[in-house]
């Protein structure tokens, strides 16, 4: 028989999961509204060429048309969304500034394509200035990474409509943004972290710590000597002020750095009039991050009892089969298979993603280049793993009597459809939780680069295109984990569920962890990334926790159904949703 299902335990876990979602989201909402003193509105407005733009508008208490406040346009970086700027937006709003946290074009809920209309920066600035609660002559711009270029595009389009600008992990002279000079942009602060992965692209230096010696930066600062960190150059009154800050951290770390956020606060307080003067060191944003992470944990936990309870229904109960007798790899063969499972994904991580974007350029069918690259990497590794599995089966394992039933792949069309329906039901209920939290609390589910949010109708359409290739990968992945790599105790009984999850998680995540160590250990020792690829390296960070979740789902539902299908289908739906909702759309749909 499949593993028994304890109804009372499942209901208890479901209650705990929902409480985690509720408590985490309520905490996040309380923090981002500064205890109810800041109103947050989800706004849509029409930008250039009829492009619908999306943003979160933070309005401090007491700000009205009669008592307008300084405004700040806060813009996220590439393949992020408006929520990524929460740390900055929360702290600016706490200090009395009206904040517009913008979705760049092609990101979040703003219309595609990405990069269009100055990344959306000019439209964001124009909208912010149009609000009667904002002092139009007292506006700051803050952008991280590509959001810095969006801010520069706004400053170039409307050179008289802002007072100061903070570039976080960004630079002047990037594509679509003008080169900086001693006079432009007005009152510029550069916050560039010591271990920023993009120092070469942004400032032409090997490391972030060397940015002060960049000829490009020295030109912007109007000096022939290396720029001194923390020294004020030029004049705030004349609009020629310049200051360099170098916090300790990486490029994505700027989002969760009290130091980096504090520097942005400091510059806005120096260059904008008004605000309440709250010290830059007085920060609470990280409690919001803790809250959304607690909610994320609750949502992931939610998947297991919901699936287990649905399996108790008569309709889905037929999916429950005995966990098949193990006919997997053992001894040295197991370790060889594990090593191959670790080495190949690591070796192909950059190459297949880059090749994927050359083989499959952005189109109406596959409109997200980063998602397409991940898809090609996943499908490529799925094909390699399937071929190796079949070679192992026919050359070594079939002689021991192994059959499809031992591998958990017995199926009929009816049961496959039922397994797919169960997976859709589980993810639909999880999506309902995410949508409800977004509606009630205006928060998503995240920790740093790990982020899950609702989709637009366009995202749903895009998700359907990517779903089948990702489903192929997760079917093959589940086959390898549950058939070839499954372990038993010496007496033949299954190992504990937690041990099985941890072993499978190690097989899936170690390739990414090794790649990250190869990249970041030299970087933090003062050297450039040895393999290059800063963007894909950062993309890889989120796959460590995400693949842990994949291993847990695959293992749990294999134990409950005796086959790989339900877990593989849930993973395909969950991960495709996760990736598509968080990526930029490069094709003009």
Q: What is the predicted pLDDT for the residue at 7?
A: 87
DSSP-based helix, strand, coil % in the chain, nearest 5:
55, 10, 35
**pTM for this entry:** 0.95
Average pLDDT over residues 136-162: 96
Average pLDDT over residues 160-178: 88
In terms of Cα–Cα distance, which of 105, 127, 125, 107 is closest to 116?
105
Calpha distance 422→553 (Å, rounded): 13
Q: What is the predicted pLDDT for the residue at 492?
A: 75
Q: Which residue has the tokens 């979740």?
A: 549
pLDDT > 90? residue 384 = yes
Q: What is the predicted pLDDT for the residue at 1?
A: 47
Residue pLDDT, tens place only, 396-405: 888 888 888 8
Q: Within its chain, how far is the Cα of 194 from the centroid?
A: 22
Average pLDDT over residues 185-201: 97
Question: Phi and psi dihedrals of 303, rounded to 5?
Answer: -60, -35
Question: Phi and psi dihedrals of 454, rounded to 5?
Answer: -65, 160
Q: What is the predicted pLDDT for the residue at 267?
A: 98
In contact, 408 and 482? CB cutoff 8 Å:
yes
DSSP assigned state of 218? H
Residue pLDDT, tens place only, 422-461: 999 999 999 999 999 999 999 999 999 999 999 999 999 9
CA distances from 238 to 162, 219, 233, 469, 587 (A): 13, 18, 11, 56, 42
Q: Where in the chain is the domain with CATH 3.40.50.1820?
A: 37-283
In terms of Cα–Cα distance, which of 189, 172, 195, 282 is closest to 247?
195
Give the pair of three-digit tokens for residue 155: 């400053």
pLDDT > 80? residue 3 = no
Average pLDDT over residues 533-553: 97
* Choice between 6 and 537, residue whose per-residue pLDDT is larger: 537
| pLDDT more than 70, % of the chain | 99
Query: Where residue 488 falls among pLDDT bands split at 50, 70, 90?
Result: confident
Q: Within its chain, how far is the Cα of 550 from the centroid?
A: 16
Residue pLDDT, tens place only, 276-334: 999 999 999 999 999 999 999 999 999 999 999 999 999 999 999 888 888 888 889 99
Q: What is the predicted pLDDT for the residue at 411?
A: 80
Query: Where residue 175 falls among pLDDT bands split at 50, 70, 90?
Result: low
* Choice between 336 and 493, residue whose per-residue pLDDT is larger: 336
Average pLDDT over residues 220-244: 97
pLDDT > 70? residue 519 = yes
pLDDT > 60? residue 2 = no
| pLDDT more than 90, % of the chain | 90
pLDDT > 70? residue 176 = no
Average pLDDT over residues 118-145: 97
Q: How high does pLDDT run on average in the chain? A: 95
Burial classification of residue 399, based on how many CB atoms lie within 10 Å of its CB (0-12 exposed, 13-18 middle, 19 or more buried): exposed
pLDDT > 80? residue 535 = yes
DSSP assigned state of 343? H
Helices (H), 360-494: 369-392, 413-441, 457-479
Residue pLDDT, tens place only, 547-579: 999 999 999 999 999 999 999 999 999 999 999
CA distances from 106 to 43, 50, 321, 409 (A): 16, 13, 45, 40
CATH topology for the 37-283 domain: Rossmann fold (3.40.50)
Average pLDDT over residues 175-181: 74
Calpha distance 427→578 (Å, rounded): 11
């Amino acid at each position: 028989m499949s593993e028994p299902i304890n109804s009372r335990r499942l209901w208890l876990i479901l209650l705990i999961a929902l409480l985690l979602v509720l408590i985490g989201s309520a905490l996040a909402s309380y923090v981002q509204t500064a205890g109810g003193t800041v109103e947050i509105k989800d706004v849509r407005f029409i930008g250039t060429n009829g492009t619908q733009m999306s943003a979160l508008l933070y309005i401090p208490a007491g700000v009205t048309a009669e008592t307008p406040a300084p405004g700040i346009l806060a813009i996220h970086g590439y393949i992020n969304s408006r929520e990524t700027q929460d740390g900055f937006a929360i702290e600016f709003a706490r200090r009395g500034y009206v904040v517009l946290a913008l979705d760049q074009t092609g990101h979040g809920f703003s219309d595609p394509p990405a990069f269009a209309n100055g990344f959306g920066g000019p439209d964001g600035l124009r909208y912010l200035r149009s609000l009667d609660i904002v002092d139009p002559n007292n506006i700051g711009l803050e952008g991280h990474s590509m959001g810095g270029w969006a801010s520069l595009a706004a400053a170039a389009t409307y050179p008289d409509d802002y007072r100061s600008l903070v570039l976080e992990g960004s630079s002047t002279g990037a594509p679509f943004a003008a080169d900086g000079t001693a006079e432009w942009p007005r009152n510029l602060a550069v916050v560039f972290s010591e271990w920023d992965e993009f120092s070469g692209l942004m400032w032409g230096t090997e490391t972030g710590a060397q940015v002060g010696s960049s000829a490009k930066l020295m030109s912007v600062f109007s000096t022939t000597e290396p720029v001194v960190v923390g020294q004020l150059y030029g004049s705030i009154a004349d609009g020629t002020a310049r200051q360099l800050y170098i916090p300790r951290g990486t490029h994505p770390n700027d989002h969760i750095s009290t130091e980096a956020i504090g520097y942005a606060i400091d510059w806005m307080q120096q260059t904008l009039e008004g605000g309440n003067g709250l010290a830059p060191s007085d920060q609470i944003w990280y409690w919001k991050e803790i809250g959304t992470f607690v909610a994320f944990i609750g949502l992931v936990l939610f998947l297991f009892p919901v699936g287990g309870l649905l399996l108790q229904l008569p309709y889905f109960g037929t999916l429950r089969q005995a966990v098949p007798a193990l006919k997997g790899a053992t001894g040295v063969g197991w370790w060889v298979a594990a090593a191959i499972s670790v080495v190949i994904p690591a070796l192909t991580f950059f190459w297949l993603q880059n090749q994927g974007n050359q083989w499959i350029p952005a189109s109406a069918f596959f409109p997200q280049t980063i998602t397409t690259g991940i898809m090609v990497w996943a499908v490529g590794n799925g094909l390699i793993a399937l071929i190796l599995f079949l070679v192992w089966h026919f050359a070594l394992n079939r002689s021991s009597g192994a059959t499809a039933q031992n591998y958990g792949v017995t199926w009929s069309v009816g049961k496959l459809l039922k397994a797919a329906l169960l997976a859709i039901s589980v993810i639909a209920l999880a999506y309902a939780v995410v949508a409800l939290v977004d509606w009630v609390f205006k928060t998503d589910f995240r920790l740093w680069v790990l982020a899950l949010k609702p989709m637009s109708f366009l995202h749903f359409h895009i998700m359907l295109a990517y779903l089948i290739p990702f489903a192929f990968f997760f079917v093959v992945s589940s086959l390898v984990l549950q058939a070839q790599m499954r372990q038993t105790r010496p007496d033949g009984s299954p190992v504990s569920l937690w041990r099985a999850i941890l072993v499978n998680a190690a097989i899936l995540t170690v390739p990414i962890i090794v790649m990250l160590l190869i990249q970041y250990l030299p970087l933090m020792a003062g050297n450039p990334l040895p393999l290059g690829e800063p963007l894909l390296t950062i993309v890889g960070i989120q796959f460590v926790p995400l693949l842990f979740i994949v291993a847990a789902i695959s293992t749990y539902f294999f134990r409950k159904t005796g086959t790989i299908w339900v877990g593989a289908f849930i993973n395909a739906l969950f991960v495709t949703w996760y990736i598509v909702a968080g990526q930029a759309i490069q094709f003009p749909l």
